[in-house]
């Protein structure tokens, strides 16, 4: 029997029992894991999550079962996956991003939901507060105080004379719009002129760049599923336009993006396992405070900097967690 079919069968068989009964009878609790990307793109994050679970005493296929579902960059798949998890009556749902969390929350008000990363969960309305989430949702925020301000500062160090900033974002994503507003405020605080490029689907990315000519000195790419899935196209268009750009993660920089600054996602998924462990041992999501990133990583692509005619300041070289050629 194939692994996915086996896990689904296991989830369906165990779904009717409360966790305490499952534990008493030796049955495995079930974790539903749904994220925006593919199995390949999330390999490192999953490895960190599974390793930490094992350290905490939970081994997939032994005393816990993990049912994986991949949205493959299509947010419209989230409601279907969430409904499947509810039907299986999994013990906890692990996800990330406002779209995934929102779909899970709409699907169930009783099954605990742990998010590994999202924009400000209070502003989006996912939790009541960081200290007291309330409801059935808790996890890890992807932002810290003045996060956007620090990214704008990095761009200004990299691009001398920066005056005009383009923000690439998806208005259909609540989380991305929260970050967009933070970036807009931070940019205006230091006197930058801002133009917003909105893309709701992949087909709108190239036209957005076509309309940007002579309107910006740099780009801020708000991270989200649509951007991540199309990162190669976005990076290529930014380079073709000779525009420095800042992104949300290492995968953009490895694809040729200039610079990224953001939470250590592998670490976030490891920490998400701590939340799952607490829940499987009886804690309620409402009582587990939302945590903020403890590691913010800075990556710079030196080859891209040279192609753009930029000299990377020593201040950034010294802070970079990795310099990619």
CATH of the domain at 279: 3.40.50.2300
Asked if 253 contacts 260 with a C-beta cutoff of 8 angstroms, the reply is yes
Residues 213 and 253 in one domain: yes
Residues 188 and 318 in one domain: yes
pLDDT band per the 50, 70, 90 thresholds, residue 224:
confident
Which three-class secondary structure state does DSSP give residue 221? strand
Residues 128 and 187 in one domain: no
Q: What is the pLDDT of residue 126?
A: 92
- Could you tell me which residue, 172 or 2, shows the higher pLDDT? 172
Q: What is the pLDDT of residue 27?
A: 76
Give, as one character, the DSSP assignment of residue 77. Answer: G
- DSSP per-residue letters across 129-169: -SS---TTEEEB-S--TTHHHHHHHHHHHHSTT--EEEEEE
Residues 16 and 131 in one domain: yes
Residues 206 and 135 in one domain: no
178: tokens are: 């929260």
Residues 268 and 209 in one domain: no
Q: What is the pLDDT of residue 304?
A: 97
Render pLDDT for 261-281 as a digit per residue (tens, 0 to 9).
998 999 999 999 999 999 999
Render pLDDT for 288-313 as a digit per residue (tens, 0 to 9).
999 988 888 999 999 999 999 999 99
101: tokens are: 């969390």
Q: What is the pLDDT of residue 228?
A: 85
Residues 66 and 89 in one domain: yes
User: Is the predicted pLDDT of residue 318 greater than 80, yes or no?
Assistant: yes
First to last CA, the chain: 44
Give the HSE-up count for residue 165: Cα atoms under 13 Å, Cβ half-sphere: 30
- Could you tell me which residue, 306 or 229, shows the higher pLDDT? 306
Q: What is the pLDDT of residue 26?
A: 55
Q: What is the pLDDT of residue 59?
A: 96
Residues 105 and 121 in one domain: yes
Residues 16 and 125 in one domain: yes
Q: What is the pLDDT of residue 145?
A: 63
- Could you tell me which residue, 250 or 93, shows the higher pLDDT? 93
For residue 16, the enclosing domain spans 3-143+264-295
Q: What is the pLDDT of residue 57?
A: 97
Q: What is the pLDDT of residue 3?
A: 39
User: Is the predicted pLDDT of residue 194 greater than 60, yes or no?
Assistant: yes
Starting from the edge strand earliest in sequence, which strands make up the sheet with 92-95, in order? 65-70, 30-35, 92-95, 113-115, 137-139
Render pLDDT for 82-115 as a digit per residue (tens, 0 to 9).
999 999 999 999 999 889 999 999 999 999 999 9
Averaged pLDDT score across all residues of the chain = 89
Full-model pTM = 0.83
């Amino acid at each position: 029997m194939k692994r996915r079919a086996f896990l689904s069968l296991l989830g369906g068989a165990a779904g009717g029992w409360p966790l305490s009964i499952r534990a008493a009878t030796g049955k495995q609790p079930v974790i539903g894991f749904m994220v925006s990307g593919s199995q390949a793109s999330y390999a490192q994050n999953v490895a960190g999550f599974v390793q930490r679970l094992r350290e905490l005493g939970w081994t997939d296929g032994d005393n816990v079962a993990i049912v994986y579902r991949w949205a493959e960059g299509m947010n419209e798949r989230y409601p279907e996956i969430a409904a499947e998890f509810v039907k299986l009556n999994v013990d906890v749902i692990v996800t990330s991003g406002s779209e995934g969390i929102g779909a899970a929350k709409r699907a169930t008000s009783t099954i605990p939901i742990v998010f590994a990363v999202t924009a400000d969960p209070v502003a989006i309305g996912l939790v009541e507060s960081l200290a007291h989430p309330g409801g059935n949702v808790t996890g890890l925020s992807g932002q810290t105080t003045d996060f956007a301000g620090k990214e704008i500062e990095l761009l200004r160090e990299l691009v001398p004379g920066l005056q005009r900033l383009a923000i690439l974002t998806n208005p259909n994503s609540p989380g991305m719009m929260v970050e967009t507003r933070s970036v807009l405020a931070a940019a205006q605080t230091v006197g930058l002129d801002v133009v917003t490029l909105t893309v709701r689907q992949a087909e709108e990315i190239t036209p957005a760049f076509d309309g940007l000519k002579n309107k910006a000195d740099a780009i801020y790419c708000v991270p989200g599923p649509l951007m991540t899935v199309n990162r190669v196209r976005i990076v290529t268009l930014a380079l073709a336009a000779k525009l420095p750009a800042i992104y949300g993660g290492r995968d953009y920089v490895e694809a040729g993006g200039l610079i990224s600054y953001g939470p250590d996602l592998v670490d976030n998924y490891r920490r998400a396992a701590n939340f799952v462990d607490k829940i499987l041992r009886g804690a309620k999501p409402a009582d587990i405070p939302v945590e903020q990133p403890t590691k913010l990583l800075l990556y710079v692509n030196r080859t891209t900097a040279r192609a753009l005619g930029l000299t990377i300041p020593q201040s950034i070289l010294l802070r970079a967690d990795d310099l990619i050629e």
